[in-house]
């Protein structure tokens, strides 16, 4: 069974790109707002979350806070996406519990490596 990745981004272009790059190897579920993601999480559990930071209804920081407060998702890896490359924003994501941070536009190979690293950390490390 394929690992499930929840993608949260209010831009259809970005969700389509992520589905294209990840869809062959993973089950990708896309939602277009943080609130929609929290509702989806009431009945589903992904193996990984990829979330944009700048969204209209609720930003990625607030989503990450609420996501981590749910007991059953506190260990689910989260990768944050942003158009900003500032260290301050990255640090805030890490402090809120994100495992990784990718800057848009991202390199598809880097995306693939970050996803593998978070889904298969022990196996991935043993391949070195």
pLDDT at 122: 72
- Report pTM: 0.93
Please compute Rg for the chain using Cα positions: 14
Per-residue CA distances from 5 to 25, 27, 45, 80, 103 (Å): 10, 6, 9, 13, 18
pLDDT digits (tens, 9 = 90+) for 3-34: 999 999 999 999 999 999 999 999 999 999 99
- For residues 44-65, average pLDDT: 95
Between CA 12 and CA 19, with CA 16 as vertex, the angle to 5 degrees is 140
| Residue 124 in this model has a pLDDT that exceeds 60 | no
- For residues 71-87, average pLDDT: 91
Specify whether the CB–CB gap between 27 and 5 falls below 8 A.
yes
Specify whether the CB–CB gap between 91 and 120 falls below 8 A.
no
Per-residue CA distances from 126 to 43, 53, 122 (Å): 34, 32, 6
């Amino acid at each position: 069974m394929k690992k499930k990745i929840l993608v949260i981004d209010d831009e259809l272009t970005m969700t389509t790109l992520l589905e294209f790059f990840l869809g062959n190897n993973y089950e990708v579920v896309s939602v277009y707002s943080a609130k929609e993601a929290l509702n989806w999480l009431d009945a589903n559990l992904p193996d990984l979350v990829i979330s944009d930071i700048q969204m209209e209804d609720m930003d990625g920081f607030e989503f990450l806070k609420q996501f981590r407060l749910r007991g059953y998702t506190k260990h689910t890896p989260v990768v944050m996406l942003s158009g900003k490359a500032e260290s301050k924003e990255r640090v805030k994501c890490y402090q809120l519990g994100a495992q990784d941070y990718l800057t848009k536009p991202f390199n598809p190979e880097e995306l693939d490596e970050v996803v593998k690293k978070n889904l298969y950390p022990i196996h991935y490390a043993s391949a070195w």
